Structure 1
Amino acid sequence: MVAPVTTSTGGGAAKAATPSRGGGRSGPSTLLAWLVVVPFLAYVGTFLVYPTILVLAGAFQDSDGGFTLSNLTDLMKGVYLQAFWRSIELSAITALLGAVFGALLSWAVATGNPQGLLRRVVVAAAGVLAQFGGVPLAFAFLATVGFQGFVTQFLRDSLGIDLFAGSAWIFDLPGLTLVYTFFQIPLMVIVFLPALDGLRPQWREATESLGGSAWTYWRHVGGPILFSPFLGAVLLLFANAFSAYATAAALVSQGSPIVPLQIRGFLTGEVLLGQENLGKALGLGMVVVVGVAMGIYALLQRRVSKWQ
């Protein structure tokens, strides 16, 4: 009688057959990862970290290179403080307008067919229009509702309505509010639509099965869940508007009503020669405001991730 042959499947054989995760394969993959990341880190360091260090150092220096706090104290008075308040006002108004209208548009898209043509068109248009800014956007609005824009001429010739009867509002904060809202709404659609898609149909079905109405669902389920994403989107839109420069620079040719245009005057103006460090102090103030907004946004995103 032949004894059965027993094949060993012990731990030693299994360990020998299993390739080590920390073996030689990690070397080339790690090197390849660094080769991909290094250009990005060099780009960020050159165009983000290094300028930030220059702004931080220059904000505490006088014209002779010595340490001073006068640059920061000057921000708390006069035209510079007014410029900060105007920038905050402009950013807050456009953030709220963009958030409200963008959320309504996102809700209309989310309630439709997920694979429908309307959703694809709106999402594609939002992705393009959210990045449409600077000189092209300013020119588009001037050609539309400027002094000689075709809408302005049509209203003046056909209906007798003069858009600029009171003042040249398009070159001041009202005009900037209108132009900024144009790219704030698409950005809100991009940011807020995934939050609406995260609402599970089972939650509404459970509310209805327990006798709850639509108002009950939005008050106790949908509203609390969407509150954090909505507030985070508002902060993101605020930071986006607060740091915008090219559109305002192309639209406003006289005066500097907001902080980015004030900084432009310090860096390019001949009258303010020798006061470049005050412009760096303005830049530091912008960094602080945007940093606080983005910090709160990051905390809200951490809370939102629990629901996702």
Structure 2
Amino acid sequence: MPFLLYVAVFLLLPVGVLAVEAFRAVDPVTFEESWSTANLGAIAEGAYARSYAGSLRLSAITAVLGAVLGLALAFAVVTSRRGRLLRRLVLTASGVLANFGGIPLAFAFIATIGTQGVVTAVLTGPLGLDGFSLYSMTGLALVYLYFLVPLMVLTIVPAIEALRPQWREAAEVLGASRWQYWRHVGGPVLAPPVLGATVLLFASAFAAYATARALVGSSVPLVTLQIADSLSSNVIVGAENLGKALALGMVVLVGLVMVFYTWVQRRASRWLA
């Protein structure tokens, strides 16, 4: 009951409010309220559609890169000869870094590789390297990878460790090469958790707000920034509920992603249990 109450107050109630307010329109002249789908139609075009496209593109790129880098790091940790000590250190660091985000992370990168950052001063001075801007989609993707790669490591290490050594031994006894083992045994078993972890990274990047707000402001089209501008009254008269319509669309997208993630995890559980 406490858990259901918590879910109802902090999840179902806000989603219900968004679902209602997204269909309310205000006349800019008479200020009369009415029910309309105009808000949902408005977010599917113009700057709002570009913000959705920007968030989807950024989330997809960082999720794929984070999954590849995190998977490589996880394999290096699991197969290392140093064993439990290295695994404990990497997982502890990943647990810390995966939760290090928001404004502190943005300012850490600004102080390091920003326009006047320490590393920037070294690279553009003696080495003569320039052309990279932290305050762009590329720079924002780099910052996102800082917490997405550790999140991938935390998510995928248990799946890698669940690969039974007997499977490899049986494949070798039957004359299978390493490529054949990964092609027919290890790869199919590990594919669902890798795909599920990638979807989780996508949802995490798609919902990120504070880091992007502190780093790029409104110079990069992201739906979370558009929602913040709308809710802070930076809108025209009569369009106050556009931000709630944007948030509802975002909730629907993240909900679909998490449903797919749950389905993938169930498919993988029968092999990794």
- Superposition TM-score, scaled by structure 2 size: 0.93
Question: Which among 239, 257, 260 is matched to residue 293 of structure 1?
Answer: 257
In the alignment, structure 1 residue 103 sits paired with structure 2 residue 71: yes
Query: Measured at CA, do residues 256 and 263 of structure 1 come closer, stay the same or move farther in structure 2, by a change above 3 Å?
Result: farther
- The one-letter code matched in structure 2 to 1:285 is G
Q: Aligned-pair distance for 1:65? A: 3.2
Residues 271, 76 of structure 1: CA spacing in aligned structure 2 closer, same or farther, 3 A cutoff? closer
The higher-RCO structure (CA 8 Å, 6+ apart) is 2
Residue 154 of structure 1 is matched in structure 2 by: 122
Counterparts in 2 of 1:270 and 1:211: CA distance versus 1, 3 Å: closer
Rounded Cα–Cα distance in structure 2 between residues aligned with 1:60 and 1:114: 58
Q: For residue 188 of structure 1, what is the aligned residue in structure 2?
A: 152
Q: Secondary structure at the match of 1:161?
A: coil
Is the 1:152–1:163 contact (alpha carbons within 8 Å) kept by the matching residues of 2? Answer: no
1:1-308 → structure 2 map (5 Å cutoff):
37-38=1-2, 40-63=3-26, 64-113=32-81, 115-164=83-132, 169-255=133-219, 257-307=221-271, 308=273
Between 270-279 and 199-208, the greater mean CA deviation after superposition: 270-279
Is the Cα–Cα contact under 8 Å of residues 146 and 152 in structure 1 kept in the other structure?
Answer: yes
1:82 maps to a residue whose letter is: R
Residue 254 and residue 260 in structure 1: after superposition, are their counterparts in 2 closer, same or farther (change >3 A)? closer
- Aligned counterparts of 1:196 and 1:138: Cα–Cα separation in 2: 32
2:233–2:240 Cα contact (<8 Å) kept: no
Equivalent position SS for 2:73:
helix
State the Cα distance separating 1:270 from its structure 2 match: 3.9
Q: Which runs of 5+ in 2 are unaligned?
A: 27-31
Cα distance, 1:94–1:157 mapped onto 2, change above 3 Å: same
Matched position secondary structure for 1:158? coil
Q: Normalising by structure 1, what TM-score?
A: 0.83
Unmatched runs of 5 consecutive residues or more in structure 1: 1-36
Name the % identity. 53
Q: Which whole-Å CA distance do the structure 1 matches of 2:265 and 2:82 have between them? A: 24
Could you say which structure has the larger radius of gyration? Answer: 1
Aligned Cα RMSD in Å? 1.5
